Amino acid sequence: MSGQVNALRETHLIRGTHVENRNYKNGALEIIDILEKEYPDARTALSFKTPLELLVSTVLSAQCTDERVNKVTEDLFQKYRSAEDYAQADLSELEEEIRPTGFFRNKAKAIKAFSAVLAERYNGEVPSSLEALVFLPGIGRKTANLVLSEVFGIPGIVVDTHVLRLSKLIGLTGNTDATKVEFDLMEIIPREKWRLFSNLLILHGRAVCIARRPRHQDCRIVDLCEAGIRWKNEKLA
């Protein structure tokens, strides 16, 4: 594998937002293949039954663990069953109900705002297009792509903090802006693998490639990762 890794390192060039090395697509596919064996049930950890529930859960998950979000939504989803329910909710009451997720005031305002638009413009239904979803107050491309891929089966790359961080460490992008990273990854990853790739990197970022204390010694893709290769070279120096 070392010869392949060296070849990848020598030919992998990133200029601006355009990833120019076609051969590195093979390396990306190998990363997916390896991680898929490590995480055979790769999917979002958020609990939901409807598109609206996933939309709400994703907003709540900002700066919060999925486990805590799931605990909060157990009761929340019993009380609020429609976009109209959220739109008509008492703001202070909703804030208290989602307080454990953090940033509860901003999250409550966002949930009420996009729910009002859903109730008024979409008959309470969550739209199935990226353009319509990002039009909703408080909904960005990350949330939109998650809903599209998990609920509607429309491929999308979900660039959360883990995907952004690992993509940079591996060497798949030189950008720090989430949207630019998304477009870089779209050039490398086959469309049918977008959802899988996102879920795999999220799981790997939580389990092994942990921010500030990555477990290089336990990483199955260390030889296909620029940061991992540097770590190995430092050990040999």
Q: pLDDT digit string (tens) for 58-99? A: 999 999 999 999 999 999 999 999 999 999 999 999 999 999
Check whether 20 has a pLDDT greater than 70: no
Whether 142 sits among the annotated catalytic residues: the reply is yes
Closest-CA residue to 72 (of 85, 59, 83, 82): 59
Per-domain boundaries in the chain: 2-43+157-236, 51-125
CATH architecture for residues 2-43+157-236:
Orthogonal Bundle (1.10)
25 CB-near residues (< 8 Å, 6+ apart)? 188, 189
Whether 218 sits among the annotated catalytic residues: the reply is no
155: tokens are 């491929």
Rounded distance between C-alpha atoms, residue 137 and residue 34, angstroms: 38
Partners of residue 18 on adjacent β-strands: 15
Of the residues 112, 160, 168, 184, only one is catalytic, namely 160
Closest-CA residue to 100 (of 131, 65, 128, 132): 65
150: tokens are 């998990």
Check whether 54 has a pLDDT greater than 50: yes
pLDDT band at 12 (very low <50, low <70, confident <90, very high): very low
More confident residue, 14 or 144: 144
pLDDT at residue 7, rounded to an integer: 37
pLDDT in tens, 94-128: 999 999 999 999 999 999 999 999 999 999 999 99
Class of the domain covering 51-125: mainly alpha
81: tokens are 């069953």
pLDDT at residue 23, rounded to an integer: 61
pLDDT band at 19 (very low <50, low <70, confident <90, very high): very low
Same fold, 2-43+157-236 and 51-125: no
Around Cβ 139, how many Cβ atoms within 10 Å? 21
pLDDT band at 26 (very low <50, low <70, confident <90, very high): confident
Of the residues 142, 168, 184, 193, only one is catalytic, namely 142
127: tokens are 């739209």
